[in-house]
Amino acid sequence: MMDMVNEIYKLYKETLPDIVRNEEIVKAILGSPHNHIVRHEVDGRLAGVSVIGDNTIYLICVGKLLQGKGIGTALLKESEAYIASAGFDKVVLGAGKEYIMPGASMNHGFHRFFEKRGYTHAWGDTRCIDMGRALRDFQYSDHSVGDTINGITYRWAAIGDLDGILKSLSDNEEDFSAYYRNEDYYKEASRERVLIAEKDGEVVGTLAVFIESAQAGMGSLAFTATPRRHRNKGIATTLVALASRYVKDIGMEGVHGSYTYSGLIGMYSRAGLDVCMDYFMGEKTIGGKFE
């Protein structure tokens, strides 16, 4: 099994070297016993692969030198047939119970392949994006974690802050609550920490910082949220900027925010991050029957 996972991972990195995702996580997804794998070999070597979980195609890729020869079309057709035979009436690209990438990379033009075969972007006019930046020349005035800025204190959270964090999420991003309940995030020596903004004893902003969770030398930012009545005050932007400075100060080379949406571009941009990847959140209805 491990040999197969390594073989698929090698092809994935050859095809999509700029997708930022932790190697261990990707390999765990690729190696799930619940997956269905569709392979295409040339001269006994893996030339293309589709990895399917339920009705989700987690990964479909073809070696660079063999693209444009019909291998991808054959892989997709067989994948759709398998998903239909399993009783599903819709095929989803990228994000299901897990994800290697949220959808098909638009930076590489892969969305056009799927559009020609009946897939549509499920998010309508909303973009699914990754944002990030190199930290070599990043500067954020003289502020750092622990400072009070405009009456708001930005500090690392302790487990005693959890109730306040959950309350702050209750009117905006309640889905994030499950992640913030992880007690490991509140241990001082952890590589996964929670940064909060606090005003008059109330948590008015939250952000999770993960060190080298995406790849070596990289800090990841996730689950940024502010209560509705505290939005448009620069709190989220300051959280991202302070977290980016912290990531730089501990020696990381870059910072990255993955699987976010176009409504947050302005906030992340003001903190110094740029869009680095667009995803086509492709879906296709197959009606439970495939022909």
Sign of the alpha-carbon dihedral angle for 106, 123, 127, 169: negative
From first CA to last CA, the distance across the chain in angstroms is 32
Q: Is the pLDDT of residue 66 over 80?
A: yes
Distance in angstroms (rounded) separating the CA atoms of residues 255 and 268: 11
Distance in angstroms (rounded) separating the CA atoms of residues 248 and 72: 40
Total domain count for the chain?
Answer: 2
Same domain, 144 and 86: no
Same domain, 231 and 168: yes
- pLDDT tens for 219-275 read 999 999 999 999 999 999 999 999 999 999 999 999 999 999 998 899 999 999 999
Other C-beta atoms lying within 10 Å of the C-beta of residue 70: 12
Same domain, 142 and 92: no
Distance in angstroms (rounded) separating the CA atoms of residues 79 and 119: 14
Distance in angstroms (rounded) separating the CA atoms of residues 223 and 185: 13
Q: Is the pLDDT of residue 140 over 80?
A: no
Same domain, 183 and 245: yes
Query: Could you tell me the pLDDT band of residue 288, with boundaries at 50, 70 and 90?
Result: low
Q: For residue 33, is it within any domain?
A: yes
Same domain, 214 and 238: yes
CA atoms within 13 A on the CB side of 113: 23
CA 111 to chain centre: 18
Same domain, 117 and 180: no
CB 100 within 8 A of CB 94: yes
Other C-beta atoms lying within 10 Å of the C-beta of residue 251: 10
Q: For residue 43, is it within any domain?
A: yes
Distance in angstroms (rounded) separating the CA atoms of residues 92 and 277: 19
Q: For residue 260, is it within any domain?
A: no
CB 211 within 8 A of CB 252: yes
What does the pLDDT average to over 122-142?
A: 91
Total-model pTM: 0.87
Q: For residue 113, is it within any domain?
A: yes
Q: For residue 112, is it within any domain?
A: yes
Same domain, 28 and 79: yes
CATH at residue 10: 3.40.630.30
Q: For residue 230, is it within any domain?
A: yes
Q: For residue 270, is it within any domain?
A: no
Residue 67: domain span: 2-126+279-285
Same domain, 102 and 150: no
Same domain, 14 and 74: yes
Q: For residue 8, is it within any domain?
A: yes
Same domain, 10 and 55: yes
pLDDT of residue 188: 80
Distance set, CA 128 to CA 35, 63, 103, 140, 266 (Å): 25, 25, 8, 27, 14
Percent of the chain topping pLDDT 90: 80
